Homo-oligomer: A and B are copies of this chain.
Amino acid sequence: MNTTAFDELAVVGKAFGSPKRLELIDLLAQGERTVESLAKAADMGLTTVSAHLQVLKLSNLVQSRREGTKIHYSLAGDDVLELYDAMRTVARTRSPQVQRALESHLGVPSGDEVGIVTREELIGLLESGEAVVLDVRPAEEFAAGHIPGARSVPLAEVIARASELTGSEDVIAYCRGAFCVMAHDAVRLLSGEGVQARRLEDGMLEWRSHGQPVEVGR
C-alpha cells in the first residue's frame, strides 16, 4: 500500500491525540527527564509511560539519551515546543470546554491579582538586575533548566522560606506555563506571609518556545 503524505503527517497528529502523551510532553517541556521520573510525576504505570514514549519517539518528537542504566528523554527541538504551544493557543481560543477546564483548574478567572509581569517586562528587569525571580517548580525541573538568575523555591517550601524574601524589592514567581497553577498559588501563599509578589504571565514553557536563554543545573 502506498502510504501518502497525509498518513505520515497523521503520525505527528496522533502523537498529540492522547491526554497521557500530552501530559508527558508538558513535563518534557520543562526539561529532560528519565522514564521513571516521568511515571512518578504523571502518576502512570512505568510500562505505560515507556509505550507512550515509544510513540513519541517514532514520530520524532522526542529524543533519548542513555546515561548508565537510566535513559533521559527530551523534546526533539524547539519547533516541537512551538507546535505544542500553538496547539494550546488554538484550544484555548477556540474551545469553550478548554476555557472552562482552565478556569476551574486555575481558580480565579483573574482580575483581583496583585500584578502580572509579561515576558518582555521580565527580560528588561533581568537586564537591570532589579528583580528577585522565584522558580516555584519542583527542584528537579529547576535543575533541568530555568530562567538565568532565578532562585529555586519549590511551592512546597514557599511558606517556610518566605522570611528569606522580606525586604526584597520586586519578587516575581513563575512555574511551568500558562496551564500551570503553581505560580498562582505561590503568590497567594506569599501574600499570606506578608510578602508582596507578582507572577510571570506564562512560564518556562513559553520562555523556551520563544527562544530565551536557559540555565541548566544546580
Binding site for B on A (CB under 8 A): 3-20, 22-23, 26, 59-61, 76-77, 79-80, 82-83, 86-91, 93-98, 101-102, 105, 179
Contacts and interface: CB of A to CB of B under 8 A. Distances in A.
Given A11-B97, A14-B17, 15 more contacts: A4-B105, A5-B98, A5-B101, A5-B179, A7-B19, A8-B101, A9-B91, A10-B19, A12-B87, A12-B91, A12-B94, A77-B94, A79-B93, A83-B86, A83-B87
Nearest to A18: B10
Given A6-B22, A19-B4, A79 B94 contact: yes
A6 to B, nearest CB: 4
A97 B95 CA distance: 32
28 contacts: A3-B101, A4-B19, A4-B101, A5-B98, A5-B179, A6-B20, A6-B22, A6-B23, A6-B26, A7-B101, A8-B98, A8-B101, A9-B19, A9-B87, A9-B88, A9-B98, A11-B91, A11-B97, A13-B13, A13-B15, A13-B18, A13-B22, A13-B87, A15-B17, A60-B96, A77-B94, A80-B94, A83-B89
A197 to B, nearest CB: 24
A105 to B, nearest CB: 6
Given A61-B94, A89-B79, A90-B83, A10 B6 contact: no
A167 to B, nearest CB: 37
A76 B94 contact: yes
A101 B10 CA distance: 13
